[in-house]
């Protein structure tokens, strides 16, 4: 039986010529720290693999993607977000399956290379070492052992791209700085377990898209180290937050919304119709959102308190305060 390391090395050897070109070329590009014209190599590499159909028990061959540069094949983002990436079809009974084949996900513009393993390989340490040896020159080299991680990465990137108010509120930087924080979140944050569960439930129709979106929003607020909204509109540093609540250069009046502020409440900018859910303090940069609930004063929702004490699951949604 072929080991995962062998399959992976097979895939690498299969595209040896191209990878070599890529390696030499990238070293030059990343060292000089600027982009030059890309050579006309393909944005995707494929491999023909054998599979056994779980439905009719017959063997069949199918083409799977083993390497994709998403900055030159942007449609792959959509395929991954729709769970259609590397789906294969049995030539005997027509049944569709997820191939489960490991692949390299490259984002040239971000300087990112991720080795994605839909299942954890047996010789994980050896596999990681082999990849590091070959591709260690990438500015960011990462390993994912769960399709949920690549899905969430794409979702978060897309969200930052599409939401200008989030970008305006954001204080975790951009480019590689933000990418590094997102990657840490994907690998370490316990919320990823909930996201994986919810994604599965949504896929099988056991949960609504809204449930999933709520959870993913929570991921963003956590990533951004945001704080629950203080009803006295005072930042921890004492500054007045209502002055910061604005969009399109105009201050928005909070009075009529005050009583309804909750994790499910959204205020829309009357001019651009973007959704607003909080404000950042101009004086100290702290960001507050009622998407994490509300507190009487900011001191009651201070970060120390939240860090040491995760609210129980059933409290996280409806509670007025994240702290007792
Ligand atoms: Zn079949
Ligand atoms: Zn606006
Ligand atoms: Zn402040």
Q: What is the DSSP string of 175-228?
A: THHHHHHHHHHHHH-THHHHHHHHHHHHHTTSS-HHHHHHHHHHHHHHHTT-EE
- Beta bridge partners of residue 61, listed in sequence order: 50
Ligand 1 centroid – CA 95 distance (Å): 5
Q: What is the mean pLDDT of residues 149-166?
A: 92
Segment 91-134, tens digit of pLDDT: 999 999 899 899 999 998 888 999 999 988 888 999 999 999 99
Find the 243 Cα to ligand 3 centroid distance in Å: 12
Residue 324 lies inside a defined structural domain of this protein? no
Lowest-pLDDT range, 71-75, 122-126, 217-221, 264-268?
Answer: 264-268
User: Ligand 1: distance of its center to the CA of 241 in Å?
Assistant: 60
Helix, strand or coil, per DSSP, at residue 292:
strand
Distance 94 CA to ligand 1 centre (A): 6
The answer to whether 229 and 290 are in contact (CB under 8 A) is yes
- Final residue of a structural domain among 145, 179, 210: 145
Quickly tell me which residue has 């300087």 as its tokens.
111
Q: Which residues pair with 114 in a beta bridge?
A: 105, 142
DSSP at 96: E
Give the number of whichever ligand sits closest to the CA of residue 92: 1
Examine residue 96 and state whether it is found in any structural domain, yes or no: yes
The rounded Å distance from CA 87 to ligand 1 centre is 13
The ligand whose atoms approach the alpha carbon of 268 most closely is 2
Average pLDDT of the chain, as a whole number: 80
Q: Are residues 99 and 192 in the same domain?
A: no
Percent of the chain whose predicted confidence (pLDDT) is above 70: 79
Q: Kindly state whether residues 54 and 27 are assigned to the same domain.
A: yes
> For residue 146, how far is its CA from the centre of ligand 2 (angstroms)?
37
* 323 within some domain: no
Instruction: Answer yes or no: do 129 and 155 share one domain.
Output: no
Q: What is the distance between the alpha carbons of residues 259 and 319, in angstroms, rounded to a whole number?
A: 15
Q: How confident is the model at residue 229 (pLDDT cuts 50, 70, 90)?
A: very high
Are 251 and 206 contained in the same domain?
Answer: no
CA of 208 to the centre of ligand 1 (A): 31
- C-alpha of residue 186 to centroid of ligand 3, in Å: 29
314 token code pair? 């059933």
Residue 167 Cα, ligand 2 centroid: separation in angstroms? 13
Q: Answer yes or no: do 6 and 131 share one domain.
A: yes
Query: What local confidence, expressed as pLDDT, does residue 217 receive?
Result: 87
Range of 97's domain? 1-145
pLDDT in tens, 34-83: 333 334 356 889 899 999 999 999 999 999 999 999 999 999 999 999 99
CA distances from 286 to 133, 257, 276, 282 (A): 41, 22, 16, 8
How many whole angstroms from 239 Cα to the centroid of ligand 3?
5
Buried residues in 20-54 as b, exposed as e (16+ CB within 10 A): eebeeebeeeeeeeeeeeeeeeebebebebebebe
15 and 101, same structural domain? yes
Question: What does 125-177 look like in DSSP terms, one character per residue?
Answer: HHHHHHHHHHHTTSSEEEEESSHHHHHHHHHHHHHHHH-HHHHHH--S-STHH
Is the pLDDT assigned to residue 253 strictly greater than 60? yes
- CA–centroid distance, residue 270 to ligand 2 (Å): 7
Q: Mention every residue, 6+ apart, whose C-beta is less than 8 A from residue 219.
A: 152, 156, 185, 189, 191, 195
Domain boundary among 166, 195, 225: 225
Same domain (yes/no): 4, 71? yes
Claim to verify: residue 233 and residue 284 sit in the same structural domain: yes
Q: Which ligand is nearest to the CA of 243?
A: 3
Give the C-alpha separation, 126 to 267, whole Å: 51
Query: Does one domain contain both 243 and 276?
Result: yes
Residues 25 and 155 in one domain: no
- In this structure, the answer to whether residues 198 and 282 fall within a common structural domain is no
Distance CA 20, CA 63 (A): 22
What domain count does the chain have?
A: 3
- The ligand placed nearest to the CA atom of residue 88 is 1
Residue 158 lies in a domain: yes
Neighbours of ion ligand 2 (CB under 5 A): 247-248, 269, 271-272
Contact 234, 286 (CB under 8 A): no
Q: What's the CA gap between 99 and 4, in Å, rounded?
A: 14
The reply to whether 137 and 152 lie within a common domain is no
Distance 9 CA to ligand 1 centre (A): 28
Instruction: Using the structure block, give the residue that is written with the tokens 């840490």.
Output: 184
- Nearest alpha carbon to residue 218 among 152, 168, 119, 128: 152
Distance CA 283, CA 281 (A): 5
Would you state the pLDDT for residue 301? 59
> What is this structure's pTM?
0.71
Q: Give the distance (Å) from ligand 2 centre to CA of residue 251.
A: 10
Ligand 2 mean position, distance from CA 277 (Å) = 12
If you measure from the C-alpha of residue 222 to the centroid of ligand 2, how many angstroms do you get, rounded to a whole number?
24
Residue 150 is encoded by which pair of tokens? 């690549």
Of 115, 145, 175, which one is at a domain's C-terminal end?
Answer: 145
């Amino acid at each position: 039986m072929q080991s995962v390391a062998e399959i992976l090395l097979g895939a690498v050897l299969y595209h040896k010529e191209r990878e070599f070109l890529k390696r030499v070329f990238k070293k030059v590009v990343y060292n000089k720290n600027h982009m030059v014209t890309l050579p006309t190599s393909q944005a995707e590499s494929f491999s023909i693999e054998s599979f056994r159909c779980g439905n009719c028990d017959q063997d069949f061959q199918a083409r799977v993607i083993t390497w994709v540069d998403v900055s030159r094949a942007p449609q792959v983002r959509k395929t991954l977000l729709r769970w259609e990436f590397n789906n294969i079809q049995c030539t005997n009974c027509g049944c569709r399956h997820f191939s489960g084949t490991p692949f390299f996900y490259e984002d040239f513009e971000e300087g990112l290379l991720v080795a994605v393993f839909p299942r954890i390989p047996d010789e994980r340490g050896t596999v990681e070492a082999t990849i590091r040896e070959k591709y260690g020159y990438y500015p960011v080299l990462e390993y994912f052992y769960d399709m949920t991680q690549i899905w969430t990465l794409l979702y978060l990137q897309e969200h930052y791209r599409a939401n200008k108010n989030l970008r305006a509120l954001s204080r975790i930087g951009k480019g590689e700085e933000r990418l590094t924080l997102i990657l840490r979140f994907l690998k370490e944050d316990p919320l990823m377990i909930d996201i994986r569960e919810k994604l599965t439930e949504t896929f099988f129709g056991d949960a609504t898209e809204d449930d999933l979106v709520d959870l993913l929003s929570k991921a963003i607020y956590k990533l951004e180290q945001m704080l629950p909204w203080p009803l006295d509109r005072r930042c921890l540093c004492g500054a007045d937050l209502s002055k910061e609540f604005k969009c399109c250069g105009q201050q928005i009046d909070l009075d009529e919304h005050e009583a309804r502020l909750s994790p499910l409440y959204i205020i829309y900018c009357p001019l651009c119709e973007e959704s607003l859910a909080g404000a950042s303090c101009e004086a100290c940069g702290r960001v507050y959102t009622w998407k994490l609930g509300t507190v009487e004063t900011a001191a009651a929702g201070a970060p120390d308190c939240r860090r040491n004490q995760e609210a129980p699951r059933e409290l996280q949604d409806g509670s007025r305060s994240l702290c007792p």
